[in-house]
Structure 1
């Protein structure tokens, strides 16, 4: 059989390629699904995860990825241009803000709830009911000589304390260390650390002499397996146990704290991002409670609304300038 002439084969090949490219898309090329990336605090993760799951029923065509590499890890990815929203259980550090602004990666901060870092012991611990800030400092400071429970309180057993803590990238770790030891201080060595709060919970649950700390929600999910210690802020202060009420009225101190999301300003120019952020903030009180945290205060809600309005207006002005700007030939 004679081979087909080139002029006959070329149109057929072109037709086949076009058919394959448009297969399953109505004859046109498919575009990737819009994606929003959230990363950071394992504490705030629970609120953003609730937002992701609820938003899926509002706009199933948008993919929201929520991860939890710690507040420091979230800011690290943000500075690499990899995320749209940072979940943060502490405020941004000056150097993080400086690096972001120097790269034109400006953000807007929103309050999404309140937490109380909870000191938890094994449920079988029948002697420790409360602990003072001074005892915590003595226990966690870098040159600590505390080895046993008896070293903290003569009436407690002469058994070794096993400590559990979030890792150094965690905002919970950084907030706890600053609140108990002071700014710029470093904690002791020999602590069992993990970026996963559930691993910390299981560590304390499995160790009769375990003592660990994590966000209140992780304690609330495991009340039957753990015992929370009341914290005494000063010599004249009463011991106060963590609870939604004591966290809300700030009587649980110094370990009550606000929870944040930091939103990349430029990301809100994307329709899917603007829609998700509006949904998140409109429903933030419900989402915070779903995550087992206290919701933002009415004042926080108003501040969030004002910040969102300012951000939306700025994004609109930027978009208008982009349209008005003549294209480069």
Structure 2
């Protein structure tokens, strides 16, 4: 993975050097400062990739590289000094916060949207009308006894369920296991994990007894070959994930905020600041293009206030807007 990132960064730097030589963004003659390097969540990837595509038309002299090795992978690359921005589908944990502080590489967090983790089955599965949070826990907890659909409901067929899940570097995995199982990163072992949400999509779509979960945008983009399952939390009626139910927080407990963490030192670089300014000013359309619910106006105001601080580690951040 490190070798792959190094190759990508070298290629991006070469392009930036050429562009700077042709009258680039006025940063370091080496061209390295004319790149913006992003890695992390495959969920937030869709927003950052939309930002990269749009910004390339506005400022082609800045090369933006977006990878998706999971939220945990993104924080790992950040702490190794390899990237400017982490795409994160969960907040940084205490260990990641402590390491960033200890290494003298503080960040500013910006809220870039809201997602609803979507539980899906194959469209041929018409007997699962909804699932309760308690059933989800019974399905996904470590050492689960649920092996067939009949184990969940005696009226359902005794066919073996095939489980598809994000891998352990995924922020989606962290969030889902924490709110459903009760402890982050704790899940049954007999699953088919992947860091690529499209692999999970294709797995469930190709298996009549498939069951999986991932960000809502990946369901929306593949709703012709998947079926989303309404989730019942407590005594409330089952709720289907949608822009409306994610926004009004009735789709609970699987609604969650999405973030980007930007290195403060990088914010002070013109290439990164220009890209980030564009990203936040156009977040309404970028979040929607990515398939997610945009931040509220109050959150967007907090984002702008944090950006105006310009990477000052002592200034307020957008954390309270999440």
**Shorter-chain-normalised TM-score: which range?**
0.7 to 0.9
Q: Give 2:300's aligned residue.
A: 301
Q: CA shift at 1:302, angstroms?
A: 1.1
Note the 1:25-40 alignment, pairs <5 A.
31-32=30-31, 34-40=34-40
Q: Give 2:291's aligned residue.
A: 292
Structure 2 distance, partners of 1:99, 1:57, is 36
Q: Give 2:17's aligned residue.
A: none
Secondary structure, in 3 states, of the residue corresponding to 2:203?
A: helix
Structure 2 distance, partners of 1:185, 1:97, is 18
Q: Give 1:175's aligned residue.
A: 175
Deviates further, 267-276 or 81-90:
267-276
In structure 2, runs of 5+ residues without a counterpart are 1-20, 23-28, 316-322
Q: Give 1:54's aligned residue.
A: 54
**1:166 and 2:166 equivalent?**
yes
Alpha-carbon contact 2:47-2:287 (below 8 Å) kept: yes
Structure 2 distance, partners of 1:191, 1:92, is 26
Q: CA shift at 1:70, angstroms?
A: 0.2
Deviates further, 302-311 or 88-97:
302-311
Q: Which is greater in Rg?
A: 1
Alignment length, in residue pairs? 288
Note the 1:7-86 alignment, pairs <5 A.
31-32=30-31, 34-86=34-86
The 1:250/1:181 distance shift into structure 2, 3 A limit, reads: same
Note the 1:72-221 alignment, pairs <5 A.
72-184=72-184, 186-221=186-221
Secondary structure, in 3 states, of the residue corresponding to 1:311?
A: coil
Secondary structure, in 3 states, of the residue corresponding to 1:83?
A: coil
In structure 1, runs of 5+ residues without a counterpart are 1-24, 317-329
Structure 2 distance, partners of 1:229, 1:92, is 29
Q: CA shift at 1:135, angstroms?
A: 0.4
The 1:210/1:80 distance shift into structure 2, 3 A limit, reads: same
TM-score (norm 1): 0.85
Alpha-carbon contact 2:51-2:286 (below 8 Å) kept: yes
Structure 2 distance, partners of 1:115, 1:184, is 18
The 1:269/1:146 distance shift into structure 2, 3 A limit, reads: same
Alpha-carbon contact 1:117-1:176 (below 8 Å) kept: yes
Alpha-carbon contact 2:45-2:66 (below 8 Å) kept: yes
Alpha-carbon contact 1:118-1:216 (below 8 Å) kept: yes
Q: CA shift at 1:32, angstroms?
A: 2.8
Structure 1 distance, partners of 2:64, 2:184, is 36
Structure 1 distance, partners of 2:312, 2:57, is 27
Task: State the Cα deviation string for residues 21-71 of structure 1 (Å, max 9, x = none).
Answer: xxxx69xxx743611100000000000000000000111011000000000
Q: CA RMSD in A?
A: 1.6
Structure 1 distance, partners of 2:256, 2:185, is 19
Alpha-carbon contact 1:265-1:315 (below 8 Å) kept: no
Alpha-carbon contact 1:40-1:71 (below 8 Å) kept: yes
